[in-house]
Amino acid sequence: LAEMMNFLAIYPSMNFEHWWTLNGWSPHEIAGFALCVALLSPLVVSAAFYALQRRAIWGPWVTRDFTCLLPPGALLRALALCDLGFLNYRSPSFVAAIIVSVVVDVARNATVWCSILGILGNKWYALKGGYLCMMVTTLSS
**Mean pLDDT, each 10-residue run in order, the chain (141 residues):** 65 72 87 88 83 72 76 82 78 86 82 74 73 72 59
Other CB atoms closer than 10 Å to residue 77's CB: what's the count?
26
Name the amino acid, one letter, at 30. I
Instruction: Return the pLDDT at 5.
Output: 66
Instruction: Return the pLDDT at 8.
Output: 67
Nearest to 137 by CA among 78, 74, 81: 74
pTM (global) more than 0.75: no
Instruction: Return the pLDDT at 9.
Output: 63
User: How far apart (Å, rounded) are the C-alpha atoms in residues 118 and 28?
Assistant: 41
